[in-house]
Amino acid sequence: MYRYFLEVAYNGTAYSGFQVQDNAPTIQAEVEKALAILLKQKVELTGSSRTDAGVHALQNFFHFDISLPKEAISLYNLNAILPQDIVALNLYKMDGEAHCRFHATARAYKYYIYQTKNPFLNNRAWFYPYHLNMELLKKAAQVLMEYSDFTTFSKRNTQVKTYICKLFISQWEQEKDCWVYHVKGNRFLRGMVRGMVGTMLNVGREKITLDEFRAIIEAKDCTKANFTTPAHGLFLQSVEYPAGLLGEK
């Protein structure tokens, strides 16, 4: 039996999230279906990072076990079966103990907003035509680096043992026509990035002060955060592993 990591990217607009759900299209369901057609057997996938409905990914991973050698798994043929909004990027032959979720050391996300109407950014960024104090917005991103308990930014009914996360990067930057929130951490809670972005934007619009922003974080109460941020502006940029973990392509 061999273990493989499958690297994928996708536009999440048409999907109800990453993980398999009953009676709803998901990324995992589409990839499992395509692999079953290609390999003529059922393949059960384990995902590295779950993304919510409508969220995109430039890089995400699955792992699966199968008795077939790597030469029998054609990415070209797999991509011919997959829908146009999902692509298989790479296949890695791994050590049998490698786990795409538990061995990941960091995930990086970017959230895109734009302030001048642009049809080419539709479904890939959030149109946000309000005045923003960018200095305050940048300071709010740095405030997040002071904390490790992100209970406030976790949606309800999240089944996790801890709300502790370590952020490595938290910053706003400009990329062409967009303002982009770039965040990297060892793990993220359900809805966490969108909750942070929505609440920071209240700082940028001067609806709340930085002190009030800190109080919201310290309250550990998700009802105080702003989760109205739409999914289509969010991209999972990368999933990182220890050097040398990924096997041969």
Q: DSSP characters for 4-58?
A: EEEEEEE--TTSS-SS-BTTB--HHHHHHHHHHHHHTS----EESS---TT-EEE
**DSSP-derived secondary structure for 86-145:** EEEEEEEEE-TT--TTTT--EEEEEEEEESS--GGGTTTSEE--S---HHHHHHHHHHHT
Closest CA to 28 of 111, 92, 100, 95: 100
Same domain, 113 and 202: yes
What count of other Cβ atoms lies within 10 Å of the Cβ of residue 59? 19
Residue 247 belongs to a domain: no
206-241 pLDDT, tens per residue? 999 999 999 999 999 999 999 999 999 999 999 999
Q: What is the CATH number of the domain that holds 6?
A: 3.30.70.580
Same domain flag for 69 and 141 = no
The model's pLDDT over 117-128, given as tens digits with 9 standing for 90+, comes to: 999 998 899 999
Hey, which residues are catalytic here?
52
Position 232 scores a pLDDT of: 96
Residues 74 and 186 in one domain: no
Mark whether 16 and 85 lie in a shared domain: yes
**Residues 200 and 154 placed together within one structural domain of the fold:** yes
Q: In terms of DSSP bridges, do strands 126-127 and 167-175 run parallel, antiparallel, or are they unpaired?
A: unpaired
pLDDT, averaged across the chain: 94
CB 76 within 8 A of CB 45: no
CATH number assigned to the domain comprising residue 166 = 3.30.70.660
Domain residues for the domain of 142 are 106-237
The DSSP element (H or E) to which 234 belongs, if any, is strand 234-240
Q: How many residues does the chain have?
A: 249
Is the pLDDT at 155 greater than 90? The verdict is: no
Q: Both 125 and 82 in a single domain?
A: no
Determine whether 224 is exposed, middle or buried from the number of CB atoms within 10 Å of its CB (0-12, 13-18, 19+): middle
The pLDDT value recorded for residue 248 is: 67
- 131 and 224 share one domain: yes
> 181 and 200 in contact (C-beta within 8 Å)?
yes
Domain check: are 123 and 60 in the same one? no
Judgement on whether residues 74 and 149 belong to the same structural domain of the protein: no
Q: What is the structure's pLDDT at 171?
A: 98
pTM value?
0.94
- pLDDT attached to residue 156: 75
In a domain, 245, yes or no: no
Q: Clarify whether residues 114 and 210 are in a common domain.
A: yes
Quote the pLDDT of residue 199.
98
Residue after which a domain boundary falls, among 61, 83, 101: 101
Q: Quick check: is 242 in a domain?
A: no
Structural domain contains residue 246: no
Domains in the chain, number: 2
Domain boundary, last residue among 101, 130, 158? 101
Residue 69 located in a structural domain? yes
pLDDT at 17: 86
pLDDT tens per residue across span 33-63: 999 999 999 999 999 988 999 999 999 999 9
